Every structure is written in C-alpha cells, then in structure tokens.
C-alpha cells in the first residue's frame, strides 16, 4: 500500500541516498538550480534509486508537502506580517535607541546584541540588519571606534534570534518536522540564544573591534540621525513582541503544572502558535499601525508586500518535507537510525553534524535545517523522545545550520557590502561570529539534553 515502508535492499538504499544527495548538491552548487527544484529532484532520485514503488514516491511527495505546510504555512505568513508592521512603525529603532540609552555608549554593544536577538524573532534577518545597521554606524561615528565594535554584536543578536527562537521560520519548521511543541523550543532556544549572543556578540565584537579598523561607510557618515520623537513607545513594542512568546509558553507550562490544569483548554487555544501570532498581529495593526497614523489601506499594502518572500521559504521547506518522507517510506530512516545507535552518538550531536555539513556545502541555512530535520525525523524512535530532548535536537539543527557562513551564503555578501569589508576580513569576523553562534548554541543544547 502507498505510504507504507517497503523492504528494500540496504546497500541499494545507501547508494541511492548518496546518489540523490550528490545530485541535490550538484544542482545547487554547480548548476545554480533553485533550491526547491534541487531538493525535489534529489528526493525523487533517492526514491527511484532505492527501488521504491512509483506510487510510494508520489505518496511521499504529497505527504511531505501537505504535512509540512500544514504546520508552518500560517505561522510564516502571520510572522512576516507582524514583523513588517513592527519594521514600518519604527518599532525596531525604538528598541535599539532605548536600549543604547540605558546601557550607555560603553556597553552599547550589549544593547545592540539584545536588540538584534529580540528583533530577529518576528523580523527577517536581512530586514532587521538593514533597519538597525545605521544605529551601529552612528555609535561608531560618535565614539571613533571601528564599526565592527558595534556591528558584530548586532549581527550576532540578529543571527541568534533568526536561528533559535520561534516565531522565526527556521526553528518552527524543524519543530514541525520533529513534532515538538513550540513552547519547549522557545524555552531551550532562549537559553541557547543568550549564551550564543554573549560569546559571539559583545565578546567577539570587542576582539574584532580592536583587531580590524573598519571605518563607517561614507554614505552613512554624512547622514542625519533619525527623529526619535516620532518612534513608538519602548514598552509598547516589548509588550507586543512578547504576546506570542508568552501565550505559547503558557500553553506548554499548563500541560505540566497541575495548578493550571483547569485553564489548560484556554491556554491550549490561545497558545496554539497561529492563534498567538494572530493576536499579536492584530495588536500590532491597532497599536503600531492605526494609532501611528497608518490607514487600513496602508497596512494592507505593508502586510501584503511582506508575504512576497514567504512563498520561497514555504516551498523550499515543503520540499524538505518530501525528502523526509522519501527517507522514511524507503526505510532509509531506519538504516540511518541503526547506524547512529551503533556509533553511540547522541541524536543531538548527529543533528548538529548533519546540519553543519549541509550548511557548509550548500550555504543556505533554510536548506540545511530542512534537510537535517528531514533526516532526523525519519529515524526510528524519534516520537518516543521527551519534548525537552526534541527541543534540544531542534536547537542543535539550528546551530549546525548557522555555522561557517562563507562565499556560498547570501548573508555573507550582504554583511560584506553593508559593513564595507573585503572578503578576507568578512571571513575573519562574520564567518567566525556565525560559527560561534551555532557552536555555542549547540553546546548549550547538548548540556540541556543530558537532563531531558
């Protein structure tokens, strides 16, 4: 019957997997084929090479697309709209300006790291960087320091928020594939994120700032500072960003704390990720949109435009789901699982290694998370693991997908051009920073997993 695993030759399975992944990497790296098409072709090559019945391959594709999108489509869409309103209203600048004022110029690097971490949860990395980098430059201009002293902590915060903490799409997609509640993922992600931000942000930023003098770009040096009086209130922004996180965590806590058991159905509904994000998005529309002079027509345009990049994210992710179901239905998941158990490596470690290898080869963090999550989810016994362990595995995938950003990663070139560095300096600063973010997050997740 389609969808059931068929008994296939183990040697042929391994060869098919190697061939399929080689085709996938070749298409992306050598021929620059779009990631979604490459993953789909690679998955089908694995199925055909392994000798799967054709109807099983079709079922795996349909199940992979349907089950994966079912878990994340609404979240990615709502998260994008929420982030766009936050961006358009000046909420991101409010957080950054207020934090820098509180911490003072001497500790401004910490303020930028924390701001980046918070902003990257609802706002895409690229957008967050473009909005906040002028603040890092204005601080460097004011203190006559290398712009890396402030840019690196900001980049580290953005990278951490983007990698580890929902509602950003990466961990949401991994959590969906591993079938773990987002509340657990947020709690583990926040712990991983704090340590990663400190090590890769203010600590590494201070080293880079002393070692490499990168002046403020000319076009920024002559810019006037933005009008702070027009920015929304700091606590309003913090409150709105916390809405989905608090509701999702309360849902997870209500399930394990007996005193809250009576409220579990209410928290279960409000903490359902799409409901929590919907509430936050409506709050942002009313408080940051309408109250700040935007009309409903303006908001509709902002929110619609924010959905443009989500199609690509969703389709690449869905094709990763196809890869997962091909591995599962062909029996490759069991084969990999048995090999891992005989190697006596914890699944958290395997998750990190797989994601890191794909990241280094392909460059895309989304593709690395998608493929690693697909391979791990196809292993036997995953469903029996505790939610805390699965949340640690999610963080390990995110960590592996963050390390070693180099020439094949679009983020590398964006940072190089925005900060105004050459390739060599970018490798010595940004690439090491990304590796510190991913590596530190993984170590924290591994330590937490010992208690799961």
Residue 40 included in any domain? yes
378-398 pLDDT, tens digit each: 888 898 999 999 999 999 999
What mean pLDDT do residues 206-218 have? 91
Residue 1 included in any domain? no
Residue 274 included in any domain? yes
Residue 156 included in any domain? yes
Predicted structure pTM score: 0.84
Residue 2 included in any domain? no
- pLDDT exceeds 70 at position 3: no
- pLDDT exceeds 70 at position 220: no
Point out the least confidently predicted range of 193-197, 260-264, 384-388, 428-432: 260-264
Q: Which pLDDT score is estimated for 56?
A: 94
Residue 404 included in any domain? yes
The domain containing residue 83 runs over which residues?
10-449
Q: How many domains does the chain have?
A: 1
Q: How confident is the model at residue 2 (pLDDT cuts 50, 70, 90)?
A: very low
Contacts of 282 (CB under 8 A, 6+ apart): none
144-164 pLDDT, tens digit each: 899 999 999 999 999 999 999
Q: Which pLDDT score is estimated for 1?
A: 39
If one compares 433 and 8, the residue with the highest pLDDT of the two is: 433
Point out the least confidently predicted range of 40-49, 120-129, 197-206, 272-281: 120-129
Q: Give a three-class secondary structure readout of the chain.
A: CCCCCCCCCHHHHHHHHHHHHHHHHHHHHCCCCCHHHHHHHHHHHHHHHHCCCHHHHHHHHHHHHHHHHHHHHHHHHHHHHHHHHHHHCCHHHHHHHHHHHHHCHHHHHHHHHHHHHHHCCCCCHHHHHHHHHHHHHHHHHHHCCCCHHHHHHHHHHHHHHHHHCCCCHHHHHHHHHHCCCHHHHHHHHHHHHHHHHHHHHHHHHHHHHHHCCCCCCHHHHCCCCCCHHHCCCHHHHHHHHHHHHHHHHHHHHHCCCHHHHHHHHHHHHHCCHHHHHHHHHHHHHHHHHHHHCCCHHHHHHHHHHHCCCHHHHHHHHHHHHHHHHHHHHHCHHHHHHHHHHHHCCCHHHHHHHHHHHHHHHHCCHHHHHHHHHHHHHCCCCHHHCCHHHHHHHHHHHHHHCCCCCCCCCHHHHHHHHHHCCCHHHHHHHHHHHHHHHHHHHHHHHHHHHCCC
- pLDDT exceeds 70 at position 226: no
Q: Which pLDDT score is estimated for 211?
A: 95
Q: What is the mean pLDDT of the chain?
A: 88
Residue 208 included in any domain? yes
Residue 188 included in any domain? yes
Q: Which pLDDT score is estimated for 6?
A: 54
């Amino acid at each position: 019957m389609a969808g059931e695993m068929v008994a296939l030759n183990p040697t042929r399975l391994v060869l098919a997997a190697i061939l399929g992944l080689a085709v996938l990497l070749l298409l992306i790296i050598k021929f620059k084929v779009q990631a979604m098409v490459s993953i789909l072709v690679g998955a089908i090559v694995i199925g055909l090479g392994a000798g799967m019945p054709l109807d099983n391959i079709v079922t795996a594709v349909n199940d992979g697309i349907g089950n994966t999108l079912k878990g994340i489509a609404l979240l990615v869409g709502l998260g994008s709209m929420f982030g766009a309103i936050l961006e358009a209203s000046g909420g991101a600048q409010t957080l950054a300006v207020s934090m820098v004022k509180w911490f003072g110029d001497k500790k401004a690097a910490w303020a930028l790291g924390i701001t980046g971490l918070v902003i990257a949860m609802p706002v895409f990395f690229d957008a967050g960087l473009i909005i906040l980098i002028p603040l890092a430059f204005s601080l460097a201009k004011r203190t006559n320091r290398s712009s890396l002293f402030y840019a690196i902590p900001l980049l580290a915060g953005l990278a951490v928020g983007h990698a580890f903490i929902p509602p950003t799409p990466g961990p949401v997609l991994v959590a969906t594939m591993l079938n773990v509640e987002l509340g657990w993922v947020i709690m583990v992600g926040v712990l991983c994120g704090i340590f990663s931000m400190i090590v890769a942000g203010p600590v590494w930023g201070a080293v880079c700032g002393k070692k490499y003098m990168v002046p403020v770009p000319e076009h920024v040096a002559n810019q006037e500072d933005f009008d702070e009086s027009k920015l929304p209130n700091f606590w309003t922004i913090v409150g709105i960003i916390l809405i989905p996180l608090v509701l999702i965590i309360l849902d997870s806590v209500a399930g394990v704390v007996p005193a809250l058991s009576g409220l579990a159905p209410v928290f279960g509904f409000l903490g359902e990720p799409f409901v929590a994000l919907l509430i936050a998005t409506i709050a942002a529309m009313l408080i940051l949109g309408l109250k700040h002079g935007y009309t409903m027509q303006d908001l509709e345009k902002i929110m619609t435009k924010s959905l443009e990049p989500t199609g690509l994210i969703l389709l690449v992710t869905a094709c990763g789901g196809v890869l997962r179901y091909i591995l599962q239905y062909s029996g490759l998941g069991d084969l990999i699982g048995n090999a891992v158990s005989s190697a006596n490596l914890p699944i958290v470690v395997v998750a990190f290694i797989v994601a890191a290898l794909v990241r280094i080869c392909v460059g895309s963090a989304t593709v690395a998370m998608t493929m690693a999550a697909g391979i791990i989810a196809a292993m036997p016994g995953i469903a029996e693991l505790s939610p805390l362990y699965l949340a640690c595995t999610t963080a390990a995938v995110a960590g592996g997908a963050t390390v070693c950003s180099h020439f094949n990663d679009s983020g590398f070139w964006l940072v190089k051009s925005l900060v105004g560095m050459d390739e060599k300096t970018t490798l010595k600063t940004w690439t090491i920073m990304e590796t510190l973010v991913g590596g530190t997050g993984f170590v924290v997740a591994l330590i937490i997993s010992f208690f799961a």
